[in-house]
């Protein structure tokens, strides 16, 4: 029971790290980016290649995954995404689906369609007992790292100058520009940062979520649930939503395997009916 | 007195406008003639023609939702898949006659459409996207889990269809199948066309353009959306039924996400908001996909993605206006319709 809760929390933490970049893209730039999972996949594959082909330590792979995904995100934002902030949602959906399809096919071409495996360092594999509860070491590691990241994010957003600029740009793009804030730059950096986090999540999640070319399609719905249930105006909203989703998904798959996947979809639809603007929204726009 | 005469004048002007909008256009006739001609000219291509007809019906039904009511749906394949499974099950357990299966599938999909339409009434584009996507995924998962009914991942097979209306036997080359699909496509398109170019369709466009103002001029937006979503679901279900009946097989792929994306792409290629976009798009899409899957059997998805990205970057509107580049006489009739 507690083990399931623990696994659920770890799962939820991962989902949060994966999805929080999307929160920014969706909430801040009002861009429906279904291709967010592709950045996560990029991070995952960077890790796989570095570890399995070049034998680089797992701990070095994580920042590398972050940087690689962030760079990809930055380049794509500057070349493609930035032109599409103003177009209709349908166009954004089509565009990002196109990106997903390309990413899936390209990954399949370069890496093959099979599931990728990574070998965790020995100190992170296996289980240990904490007060009689079986705890996976890697999951504990995940929780610690993700919690630290979530905390850091919250602090960056609420305490730093960049965070306040970002929040200003969220609230009113035009006024923020009028105040001399370089909104496109803020957007680009935030997009890159969000993509980097997704890449980090993909790298860490390779062990728990699995990694194959269909990753962006498989987890698209999870990211969208986190964002739409959590709302897009805070960090804590998506965080709680991710926790809820992670625990519900793990528990659902464990207790009622036959209807496991329905649990989260049903949860999402109910949530969207009750609170169309997210669980913790600041009221309707 | 003055008021009455001006209102009757307005009424007659409105009636004229409606008539002009709904007039049969030149290109429509060409489409149907070409479709019939294809039967005689390309006897060896019946299977791909059937595929086009099915995809066209599916796309036209989505256009009703997307192009007229302005609802971006990522889960339209839920109705398509449900229709396919219903048609398969009807043929397997009850009646082998296809038209019965077609109608039952339409009704079944319509019911699902009616029930789920209430979920898309609230919220923003994003919420609707999520809900439709969620419903689509739920249906796919359900089909996968209920293996005792649907055959699970292996798909539903082992059923055979009797002659259509007891008269026309399905043949080996798919000729009957094509004619059958074409007739259903024609009837379906005509019905949807009647609907789309009626005051009802016009009110949908008003809702799409500005729901609040539409409400102010007393258009019951919620009711209209429920109605049109249900009707679109019926035809999507029928398209699914056609696929199941002409191939005598239902694979779980009918509910896969990429189908929803494909049909959006079809509409993007053909243009939205005038129904025939679905047909033009289906022709182009199927040909391109067929060609790509010969050239790069494994990686055609990449090029489909590339087409999507390029389409959006170039601008969907510019592309959808290709009709305007036709010779003067052809395009004139189109512009009047706008």
The residues of B whose Cβ lies within 8 A of any Cβ of A are 66, 72, 74, 119, 122-127, 129-131, 133-135, 137-138, 141-142, 145, 257-258, 261, 264-265, 268, 298-302, 304-309, 311-313, 316
Q: What beta strand segments (E) does chain B contain?
A: none
Buried b (16+ CB within 10 A) or exposed e, A65-85: bbbbbbebbbebbeeebbebe
CB contact under 8 A, B261 and A83: no
Counting one residue from A and one from B, how many pairs have CB atoms under 8 Å apart? 125
Residues of B in contact with A268 (CB under 8 A): 130, 134
Q: How confident is the model at residue A278 (pLDDT cuts 50, 70, 90)?
A: low
Classify residue A85: in a domain, yes or no: yes
Please count the other Cβ atoms lying within 10 Å of the Cβ belonging to residue B83.
35
Best interface-test mutation with B: which of A27, A28, A84, A91 has the largest number of B CBs within 10 A? A91
Expressed as residue numbers, the domain containing A169 is 2-223
CB contact under 8 A, B305 and A217: no
Expressed as residue numbers, the domain containing B136 is 22-256
Classify residue B194: in a domain, yes or no: yes
Nearest CA-CA partner of A157 in A37, A28, A69, A36: A28
Classify residue B198: in a domain, yes or no: yes
Classify residue A229: in a domain, yes or no: no
Query: What total number of domains does chain A contain?
Result: 1
Please count the other Cβ atoms lying within 10 Å of the Cβ belonging to residue B202.
16
Which of A26, A262, A272 comes nearest B131 by C-beta?
A272
Looking at residue A283, what is its pLDDT?
Answer: 44
Residue in chain B lying closest to A223 (CA): B130
CA distance B162 to chain A (A): 36
Classify residue B30: in a domain, yes or no: yes
Classify residue B97: in a domain, yes or no: yes
CB B229 within 8 A of CB B113: yes
CA end-to-end distance (rounded Å), chain A: 40
Residues composing chain A: 285
Nearest CA-CA partner of B78 in B260, B235, B228, B230: B260
CB B92 within 8 A of CB B302: no
Distance CA A189, CA A29 (A): 12
Rounded average pLDDT over A119-126? 72
Q: What is the pLDDT of residues B158-196, one digit of tens each?
A: 777 778 777 777 777 788 889 999 999 999 999 998 888
Distance CA B34, CA B190 (A): 17
Beta carbons within 8 Å of B94's beta carbon, 6+ residues apart: B100
Give the residue with greater pLDDT, A229 vs A105.
A105
What is the pTM assigned to this prediction? 0.83
CB contact under 8 A, B130 and A225: yes
Rounded average pLDDT over A199-223? 83
Nearest CA-CA partner of B147 in B139, B156, B138: B156
CB contact under 8 A, B305 and A32: no
Classify residue B142: in a domain, yes or no: yes
- Strand A133-136 to A127-130 pairing: antiparallel
Query: What total number of domains does chain B contain?
Result: 1
Classify residue B209: in a domain, yes or no: yes
Classify residue A255: in a domain, yes or no: no
Looking at residue B321, what is its pLDDT?
Answer: 57
Percent of chain A with pLDDT over 90: 1
Distance CA A183, CA A189 (A): 10
Classify residue A94: in a domain, yes or no: yes
Looking at residue B236, what is its pLDDT?
Answer: 94
Q: What is the ipTM of this complex?
A: 0.78
Beta carbons within 8 Å of B147's beta carbon, 6+ residues apart: B153, B154
List average pLDDT for each run of 10 residues in chain B, which is 338 residues long.
69 82 80 86 85 93 88 89 92 87 93 89 76 85 82 80 77 83 92 87 84 83 89 94 89 86 86 85 90 82 86 70 52 44
């Amino acid at each position: 029971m507690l083990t399931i809760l623990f696994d659920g929390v770890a799962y939820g933490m991962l989902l949060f790290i994966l999805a929080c970049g999307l929160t920014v893209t969706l909430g801040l730039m009002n861009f429906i980016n279904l291709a967010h999972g592709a950045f996560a996949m990029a991070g995952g594959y960077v890790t796989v290649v570095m570890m399995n082909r070049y034998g680089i330590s797992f701990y070095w792979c994580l920042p590398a995954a972050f940087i690689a995904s962030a760079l990809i995100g930055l380049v794509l934002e500057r070349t493609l995404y930035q032109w599409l902030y103003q177009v209709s949602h349908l166009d954004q959906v089509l565009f990002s689906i196109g990106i997903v399809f390309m990413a899936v096919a390209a990954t399949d071409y370069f890496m093959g369609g099979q599931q990728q495996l990574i070998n965790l360092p020995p100190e992170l594999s296996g289980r240990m007992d904490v007060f009689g509860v079986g705890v996976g070491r890697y999951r504990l590691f995940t929780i610690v790292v993700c919690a630290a990241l979530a905390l850091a994010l919250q602090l960056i957003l609420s305490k730093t100058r960049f965070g306040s600029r970002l929040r200003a740009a969220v609230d009113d793009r035009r006024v923020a520009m009028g105040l001399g804030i370089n909104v496109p730059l803020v957007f680009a950096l935030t997009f890159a940062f969000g993509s980097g986090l997704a890449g980090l999540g993909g790298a860490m999640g390779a062990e728990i979520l699995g990694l194959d070319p269909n990753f962006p399609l498989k987890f698209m719905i999870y990211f969208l649930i986190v964002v739409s249930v959590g709302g897009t105006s805070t960090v804590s909203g998506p965080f709680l939503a991710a926790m809820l989703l992670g625990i519900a998904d793990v528990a659902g798959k464990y207790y009622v395997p036959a209807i496991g996947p329905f649990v989260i979809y049903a949860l999402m639809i109910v949530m969207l009916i009750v609170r169309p603007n997210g669980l913790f929204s600041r009221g309707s726009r | 007195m003055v008021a009455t005469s001006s209102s009757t004048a307005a009424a007659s002007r409105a009636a004229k406008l409606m008539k002009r909008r709904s007039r049969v256009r030149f290109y429509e006739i060409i489409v149907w003639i070409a479709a019939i001609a294809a039967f005689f000219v390309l006897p060896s291509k019946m299977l791909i023609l059937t595929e086009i007809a099915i995809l066209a019906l599916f796309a036209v039904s989505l256009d009703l939702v997307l192009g007229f009511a302005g609802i971006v749906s990522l889960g339209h394949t839920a109705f398509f898949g449900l229709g396919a499974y219903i048609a398969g099950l009807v043929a397997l357990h009850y009646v082998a006659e296809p038209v019965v299966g077609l109608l039952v599938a339409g009704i079944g999909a319509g019911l699902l459409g009616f029930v789920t339409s209430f979920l898309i009434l609230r919220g923003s584009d994003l919420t609707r996207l999520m809900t439709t996507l969620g419903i689509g995924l739920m249906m796919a998962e359900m089909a996968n889990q209920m293996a005792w009914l649907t055959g699970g991942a292996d798909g539903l097979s082992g059923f055979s269809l009797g002659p259509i209306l007891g008269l026309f036997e399905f043949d080996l080359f798919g000729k009957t199948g094509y004619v059958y699909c074409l007739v259903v496509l024609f009837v379906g398109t005509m019905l949807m066309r009647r609907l789309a170019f009626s005051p009802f369709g016009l009110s949908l466009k008003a809702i799409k353009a500005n729901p609040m103002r539409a409400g102010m001029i007393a258009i019951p937006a919620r009711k209209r959306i429920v109605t049109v979503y249900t009707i679109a679901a019926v035809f999507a279900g029928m398209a699914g039924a056609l696929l199941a009946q002409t191939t005598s097989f239902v694979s779980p792929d009918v509910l896969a996400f990429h189908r929803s994306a494909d049909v959006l792409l079809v509409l993007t290629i053909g243009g939205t908001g005038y129904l025939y976009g679905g047909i033009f798009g289906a022709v182009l899409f199927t040909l391109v996909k067929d060609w790509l899957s010969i050239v790069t059997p494994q990686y055609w998805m990449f090029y489909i993605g590339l087409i999507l990205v390029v389409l959006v970057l170039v601008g969907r509107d510019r592309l959808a206006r290709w009709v305007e580049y036709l010779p003067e006489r052809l395009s004139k009739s189109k512009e009047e319709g706008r």
